[in-house]
Amino acid sequence: MKEAFYQKLKSIIKDNQIMMEEPLARHTTFEIGGLAQFLVLPETASQVAAAVKLCQEENMPYYIMGNGSNLLVGDKGYQGTVIKLSRAFSKTTIDREQYIVRAQAGVLLSGLAEEAAEQGLAGFEFAAGIPGTLGGAVTMNAGAYDGEIKQSIVKTVVLDQTGGILKLNKEELKMGYRKSIIQVNKYIVLEAVFCFSPGNKEDIKNKINELNARRREKQPLEYPSAGSTFKRPAGYFAGKLIMDSGLRGYQVGNAQVSEKHCGFVINKGGATALEVKTLISDVIQIVYNKFGVVLEPEVKFLGEF
């Protein structure tokens, strides 16, 4: 079946865009994860649609990923096809007169924030230190430092489960805290359009530098991680709950609750996915036992652990 599927993949995607038994640790910011049966790098929306359709027809599990910045992949890997939207989907166009920015799903948020700043466009400074790509950020309405994607997004272009292309405006996206209709309907983001505000280029860059300095001071950026590990529970801060539960520095193998910021689970070096997952489960249970608050992981889990 594997060889037959590979031959069918080659009929829609070039051979050099297909990797077999690819270590997903190379594609995640946690630097953890076993082998993907297939990893494909489509270059066009039609290739994405064709790959998804093939997976559906062949009953092949598939997963859409960007920079892998919010993903924990199991040590035993993923018996399916990972469709990665990266460099081929990294085009950005800017209408300086209308303050409109159109960007594809593979654009890094940090790069987009810097590009907007260079054009004197304000409103995306919060995203400069987020390590993900635009597709995932729109899907989950990513945010930081009181900023969220929904504040400036105008519309997005997605693929639905049948391969059809849809254009969704801001209201249709139904964005909330770390959620959107894209997650509910399992759409695939292709590109998004934003409207920013005119501003002074130096002021915008200074704000980005200030926020990045705050990140370096307060977050464990020196270690591999998936960023903030837990969603913010209503009325609380996950990091404080974890700290107040006595879990600062709590460790399972080489996975650790960061001593610098308890909201982060880090890979101290050579941590396994199972160690990280076990630690996350421990934190959830201990916090619940102490405070009666259920923490929900922000990180996504993929594959076999």
| Catalytic positions | 178, 228, 298
For residue 50, how far is the Cα from the chain centroid? Answer: 23
Could you tell me where the DSSP H helices lie in the chain? 2-10, 45-57, 109-118, 134-140, 170-173, 181-185, 201-218, 238-244, 273-291
Task: Enter the tokens of residue 142.
Answer: 């990513």
> At a CB cut-off of 8 Å and minimum separation 6, what does 92 contact?
101, 102, 103, 104, 107, 111, 112, 115
106 close to 77: Cβ distance less than 8 angstroms: no
Q: Residue 233, exposed/middle/buried by CB under 10 A (0-12, 13-18, 19+)?
A: middle
One-letter identity of residue 145: Y
284 close to 276: Cβ distance less than 8 angstroms: no
- The Cα–Cα gap between 148 and 156 comes to 15
